[in-house]
Amino acid sequence: MAYCITVKSDGNLLEIYSAYDNHGSVISQIAAANFPKNPEKNGLAPGAQIVAMSVIGPENAFYLDPANMNGIKNAVSCN
C-alpha cells in the first residue's frame, strides 16, 4: 500500500494520505513481480523500480491535467 505522511503546523498536525483505490499499486506489483528461484511466476518487468504517484481521482473527475502530467514526466526522468 502506498501512502504519504505530512507533518504541518510545527508538528501539531499530522496528515496521512492513502489512495482511495489500490488498482495502480496492484497492477505495478504484478508487473514487477520477481521470483529468482521460480522465474515462471515473474511479471513482465521482474524487479522493476516503482514510483508511486496519485495524480488522478474523483476530486478532479479523473482528469489528468497538464501540471500533473509534467510532474509525472519530471519524476520518471529523474530531473
Calculate mean pLDDT across residues 66-75: 79
43 vs 63, which has greater pLDDT?
A: 43
Number of domains, the chain? 1
Is 66 exposed, middle or buried (CB count within 10 Å of its CB: 0-12, 13-18, 19+)? exposed
- Look up residue 16 and give its three cell numbers: 496521512
Structural domain of residue 67, as residue ranges? 3-77
**pLDDT for residue 13:** 93
**pLDDT for residue 65:** 79
Look at residue 7 and give its three-state secondary structure.
strand
Determine the distance from the C-alpha atom of residue 18 to the mean position of all C-alpha atoms in its chain, rounded to a whole number: 10
- Look up residue 21 and give its three cell numbers: 483505490
Dump pLDDT digits (tens) for 15-60. Answer: 887 766 767 777 888 889 999 999 999 999 998 888 777 677 666 6
Please say if the pLDDT value at position 2 is more than 70. Answer: no
77: region left, alpha or beta (phi > 0 left; psi from -120 to 50 alpha)? alpha
